[in-house]
Amino acid sequence: MDMFRRSLLKGVSASGALAAALAAGILKPTEVLAADEWNRAAFDSKDAGAALKAIGASSATDSKDIVLTAPEIAENGAVVPITVLSNIPNTISIALLSLKNPLPLAAAFDFSEGAMPEMQVRVRLAETTAVRALVKTADGKFFATQKEVKVTVGGCGG
Amino acid sequence: MRIIIAFAAAIAFGVSPQLTFAQPSPAKAPAKVQKKAPAAATPAVEEPDEATKEFEKFRAQMEDSNPAELFEMKGEELWKQKRGPKNVALAESCDLGQGVGVVKGAYVGTPRYFADADAVMDAERRIVWCMVEKQGFKFDDIAKNPFHRENDPGAPDITNLVTYVAAHSKDMKIAVPLDHPRVHDAYETGKEIVNYRAGPYDFSCNTCHGSDGKRIRMQNLPNISTGKGAIKGVQGWPGYRMTGGVMLTHQWRMNDCFRQQRFPSPKYASDVVSDLLTYMIGNANGQIYRGPGIKR
Amino acid sequence: MNTRKIIALTIVAAGSTVASLPAAADAEHRAKALEIIKRDFQPRGQAGVDRLAEDGLQAICNRTGNNPPEYIAKRMEADQLATVKLPADGKLLGDWKEGEKIAQSGRGFTWTDNPGLPVGGNCYNCHQISPKELSFGTIGPSLFQYGKLRGNTPDIQKYTYSKIWNAKGFNLCSEMPRFGHVGALSEQQVGHLVALLLDPASPVNK
Amino acid sequence: MADPMKIRASLKGDVADIRVMMSHPMENGQRKDSAGNTIPHHFIQQIWVEVGGKMVIQGQTGTSISRNPVFGFKVKGAKAGDKVVIKWRDNKGETRSDEATITA
């Protein structure tokens, strides 16, 4: 995994690092969600299903071991604080989607080298929507949970 | 309607909105919610309900990492850099009332009287004065677009500077020197400005902010004539506004109140705003200022 | 035109009485405040500095802490009431659904409002009205069940219409704007609001 | 050049609590300017977090992330004095890298 250091420290092109990692057998292609190349197909998907498919997660098992903390009512849709914490062993990636946003996939993070499978983010929500947290484990399985967030002032328009 | 809600939010910040639309499940509904339900028009009640508590939990998280700090960082740089036609740093030339270059406690110590300017000035106005007098910037250039607008690439320098200075009064007591005759004078004048009804809707500041327990839409309106209300009008400014992601100062808040009052625009960094702020902040004297805030 | 004359008259009336009024306000600071207000504003958008000038009613309310002596209040209230313009067709009750839309809108008269667009009634900013709208203000009294409590009689219709047109006709220093009088709302729009409050079919009276 | 990030990293036990605030408009391509023209996309797409010389977190983000983004992470096994380096890259290819030291 320390192949990736170069992408940060030396500015080596990220895709190069990924290719090297893949070639060296350090990474399997399915191993992480947020590897180097920005996943245009996933982030440009207009519905959550397509976005999930684009990150290889067409199906996921519901899990109570994912702790998704989001306000029941967002003070302002422009800034909704969300925390996702996975208690599922060998979690390597977490993704977050807001199902009713024009482009549902908000973020995907990969964790390694001591990084705990937990992330705090702040997202925009266009309207009242379910937010869905997706977890990927090292053996390529997907788990998910979701929560409804009520939005009174939307955060996407002008 | 959306605009109004957003606005009201800004007016009434620091007071938790009453989320009556958040219907708690019957099993969980606290007794007092049920009790007051029929009298829906009763003014906002102070004790927090479940929704408000939930709100505050996330608010604490938001405040813990407030993007206002990004503006504060820029402000610090601007304060320390040699700038302007005179190539002078504010840190080596600007006295905000606590000594040249001293920012600690400056925000909670203003408005105050500045002999060199022969005027009572709030913190923002004083920094503008320093930029003009010490650094040689042109007042009109600063006053042209003094507030952060949504599509601007960043906040104006003055906003960053105010945020930096305000952050250095965090957790300090508000101490407007009202015993100074000129400050007292500004306070009394400010009180009259607050009372003044005019414009197409006959509004004064007091129409919304002159009595306790009032709400505009869902937003509680602080009564700025009381200590308890005035601090609510002071707290959280300058504030990072989630809507638009802009950093806005207390001067902006006053400016926008006049807009809603259907008045014309107060001139930037003028007496009418300083006096108004002297009245409101003076009424909050002795209370703790929590530093730059976050607004919805 | 008519309106203008009445304002002019009230100013004259006010002028003759101001001197004898109790000084509710600190005269010196009041004078200073007026001077500063005159100096420290600039026109922006549709909001000109002419808006800062008090009309007679505002002057009286400002000088008496919104509590003018009764003899002045009564006389000026009558003047204000006389400004109410009833619809030409005599129909005071419009469409409550239109009224609800007007009540919801808070647009109009600020320097960011387009002066060409219709002005809203701002009603929910201050009043509870339809039980379906939970985001309502409390600056004014609740109007929920307004018609149910009062009945939908011609007198109540006329009173309600007049109150919206010019609230100062009933309470000189009321916080409520004079929506018809200042040209914010038309006869027809006020009629829609009357319907929102009085029509038995309106959710207000359900 | 992009404005600096604000990074806070403090240790609780052997877990570093890392918070980062980024100065970025995160334009989602849906807003209009005052003239009515759509403001083009401008948003952070990738984020890298390195602690004590090891890449620990890599992220990808879309237009649903709020303006002036804030992220929080936890990293186990970190020590006081370890360096935290965070870098982002946006859709215009602009990048910014900042660092902080983990405090006890």
* Subunits with 3+ C-beta pairs closer than 8 A to C: B
The residue whose two tokens read 């009332």 is B97
The answer to whether residue A27 scores a pLDDT higher than 90 is no
Please, which pLDDT band fits residue A154 given cuts at 50, 70 and 90?
low
D touches B, CB cut-off 8 Å, minimum 3 pairs: yes
Residue-level pLDDT at B64: 87
Residue at D67 is within a domain: yes
The residue whose two tokens read 């807009």 is B259
Average pLDDT over residues C112-122: 94
Average pLDDT over residues A116-123: 97
D touches A, CB cut-off 8 Å, minimum 3 pairs: yes
Please, which pLDDT band fits residue B17 given cuts at 50, 70 and 90?
very low
Give the range among A89-93, B17-21, B275-279, D19-23 with minimum mean pLDDT: B17-21
Q: Using an 8 Å CB-CB cutoff, list chain B residues near A120.
A: 61
Mutate to test the interface with B, among C37, C104, C174 (most CBs of B within 10 A): C37
Please, which pLDDT band fits residue B153 given cuts at 50, 70 and 90?
confident
Residue-level pLDDT at B20: 32
Backbone torsion region of residue C108, taken as left when φ is above 0, otherwise alpha when ψ lies between -120 and 50, otherwise beta: left
Residue-level pLDDT at A58: 86
**B6:A73 CB<8 A:** no
Q: Which domain holds residue C121?
A: 96-205
Q: Does A157 touch chain B (CB under 8 A)?
A: no
Residue at C150 is within a domain: yes
Angstrom CA distances, A82 to A47, A119, A146, A147, stand at 20, 8, 11, 10
The residues of B annotated as belonging to the active site are: 257
φ and ψ of C9, to 5 deg: -65, -45
Q: What is the mean pLDDT of chain A?
A: 80
**D25:B245 CB<8 A:** yes
The answer to whether residue B247 scores a pLDDT higher than 50 is yes
Residue at D11 is within a domain: yes
Residue-level pLDDT at B31: 39
Residue at D1 is within a domain: no
Residue-level pLDDT at B53: 77
The Cα D79–Cα D51 span in angstroms is 9
The answer to whether residue D98 scores a pLDDT higher than 50 is yes
The percent of residues above 70 in pLDDT, for chain D, comes to 100
Average pLDDT over residues B204-233: 94
Check residues A38 and B168 and name the one with the higher pLDDT: B168
The percent of residues above 90 in pLDDT, for chain B, comes to 75
pTM for this model (two decimals): 0.86
Residue at B80 is within a domain: yes
Average pLDDT over residues C143-165: 97
**B59:A78 CB<8 A:** no
**pLDDT, tens only, D60-79:** 999 999 999 999 999 999 99
Buried b (16+ CB within 10 A) or exposed e, B272-281: bbbbbbbbbb
The answer to whether residue D1 scores a pLDDT higher than 80 is no
The answer to whether residue A157 scores a pLDDT higher than 70 is no
Please, which pLDDT band fits residue B202 given cuts at 50, 70 and 90?
very high
The neighbour count for residue C158, using CB atoms within 10 Å, is: 14
Average pLDDT over residues B214-242: 95
Closest Cβ–Cβ partner in B65, B74, B242 for D21? B65
Distance from CA of A96 to the nearest CA of B (A): 18
Q: Using an 8 Å CB-CB cutoff, list chain D residues near B65.
A: 8, 19, 21, 70, 72
CATH number at residue B122: 1.10.760.10
Average pLDDT over residues B59-78: 94
**pLDDT, tens only, D28-49:** 998 888 888 999 999 999 999 9
Buried b (16+ CB within 10 A) or exposed e, A66-90: bebebbebbbbbbbbbbbbbbebee
Average pLDDT over residues A14-35: 48
Residue-level pLDDT at A153: 61
Q: Which two tokens stand for residue B219?
A: 């937003």
Average pLDDT over residues B151-168: 96
Q: Using an 8 Å CB-CB cutoff, list chain D residues near A109.
A: 47, 57-60
**pLDDT, tens only, B110-149:** 999 999 999 999 999 999 999 999 999 999 999 999 999 9
Q: Which domain holds residue D51?
A: 6-29+39-101
Do C110 and C139 lie in one domain? The reply is yes
Residue-level pLDDT at A33: 56
Residue-level pLDDT at A106: 96
The Cα B177–Cα B179 span in angstroms is 5
Q: Using an 8 Å CB-CB cutoff, list chain A residues near D55.
A: 1-2, 4-5, 7-8, 112-113
CATH superfamily to which A31-151 belongs: SoxY domain (2.60.40.2470)
The Cα C55–Cα C65 span in angstroms is 15
CATH number at residue C102: 1.10.760.10
Do C66 and C101 lie in one domain? The reply is no
Residue at D51 is within a domain: yes
Which residue in A150, A110, A128, A124 sits closest to A30, CA to CA? Answer: A110
Do C192 and C112 lie in one domain? The reply is yes
Angle at the Cα of C19 from the Cα atoms of C16 and C20, rounded to 5 degrees: 95
**E runs forming strands in D2-52:** 6-12, 15-21, 44-51
The Cα B185–Cα B179 span in angstroms is 10
Residue-level pLDDT at B134: 98
**How many domains does the structure of chain C reveal?**
2
The Cα A12–Cα B28 span in angstroms is 56
The answer to whether residue D100 scores a pLDDT higher than 50 is yes
Do C122 and C154 lie in one domain? The reply is yes
Closest Cβ–Cβ partner in B4, B21, B265 for C44? B265
**How many domains does the structure of chain B reveal?**
1
Average pLDDT over residues C2-30: 52
Give the range among A150-154, B10-14, B42-46, C35-39 with minimum mean pLDDT: B10-14
DSSP letter, residue A5: H
CATH number at residue D79: 2.60.40.10
Q: Using an 8 Å CB-CB cutoff, list chain D residues near A99.
A: none
Q: Which domain holds residue B73?
A: 68-170
Closest Cβ–Cβ partner in C62, C134, C141 for B196? C62
Buried b (16+ CB within 10 A) or exposed e, D17-35: bbbbbbbbbbbbebbeeee
Residue at D34 is within a domain: no
- Provide the residue type at B161 as one letter: L
The DSSP annotation for B147-205 comes to S--TTSSS--HHHHHHHHHHHTTTTEE----TTSHHHHHHHHHHHHHHH--BTTTTB-H
Average pLDDT over residues B265-273: 98
Average pLDDT over residues B146-169: 96
Residue-level pLDDT at B100: 98
Give the range among A143-157, B18-32, C52-66 with minimum mean pLDDT: B18-32
Residues contacting B140, CB < 8 A, separation 6+? none
Average pLDDT over residues A17-45: 62
Q: What is the mean pLDDT of chain B?
A: 86
**How many domains does the structure of chain D reveal?**
1
Do C161 and C118 lie in one domain? The reply is yes
Residue-level pLDDT at C22: 43
The DSSP annotation for B210-261 comes to SSTTEEETTEEE--TTSHHHHHHHHTEEEEEETGGGEEE-HHHHHHHHHHHT
ipTM of the complex in this document = 0.86
Average pLDDT over residues C155-163: 97
Average pLDDT over residues B54-78: 91
**pLDDT, tens only, A34-47:** 556 889 999 999 99
Average pLDDT over residues A105-127: 95
